[in-house]
Amino acid sequence: MKKIVFALGLLGLSALANAADPLNGTVWKTIDDETKQPKAMVKFTEQKNGTLSASIVQVLTPGEENSCGKCEGPYHNKSLRGVTIVHNLKRVSGNDYDNGTILDPKNGKTYKLKGTLAGNKLNLRGYIGISALGRNQTWIRAN
């Protein structure tokens, strides 16, 4: 009987491990939607409430790593490294994500965010109000 309970416990733990979000712990290269150039490396972290956040771990554009001058709050005039640019992104079904926000450090504005995971690409849409009024970015998986 003890062996059966132990085996069921291990099965339950493996199911929980497999339930973790596929973006959790992954690093992505952000690509500027206007210049098509790499901007930064960001890492996703799953929060206790099940949502995802993503922080800049490396700035790839020379001269832009030192200041978040237009950012508000604790990031104002701080280094871009460590700035959390994605908040509250939630997996809504399969590879689709929604209900998040994204900070554009270039202008300091925060936008609603949704996206789709497609293999090694993360297709994101940042927008104000309705999705039709927004911009697309495709990030490339780095790990």
CA gap 44, 61 in Å, rounded:
20
Per-residue confidence (pLDDT) for residue 66, from 0 to 100: 73
Per-residue confidence (pLDDT) for residue 74, from 0 to 100: 82
CA gap 101, 98 in Å, rounded:
9
CA gap 126, 131 in Å, rounded:
8
| 14 in a structural domain | no
For the chain, 143 residues long, the average pLDDT of each consecutive 10-residue run is 47 46 96 91 97 96 80 83 95 96 90 97 94 92 89
Torsions phi, psi for 77 (to 5 deg): 60, 25
| 2 in a structural domain | no
Range of the domain at 123: 22-141
pTM of the model: 0.83
CATH number of residue 60's parent domain: 2.40.128.520
Per-residue confidence (pLDDT) for residue 87, from 0 to 100: 97
Helix (H, G, I), strand (E, B) or coil at 110: strand
CA gap 79, 7 in Å, rounded:
49
Per-residue confidence (pLDDT) for residue 1, from 0 to 100: 53
Per-residue confidence (pLDDT) for residue 45, from 0 to 100: 98
| 49 in a structural domain | yes
Torsions phi, psi for 47 (to 5 deg): -90, 165
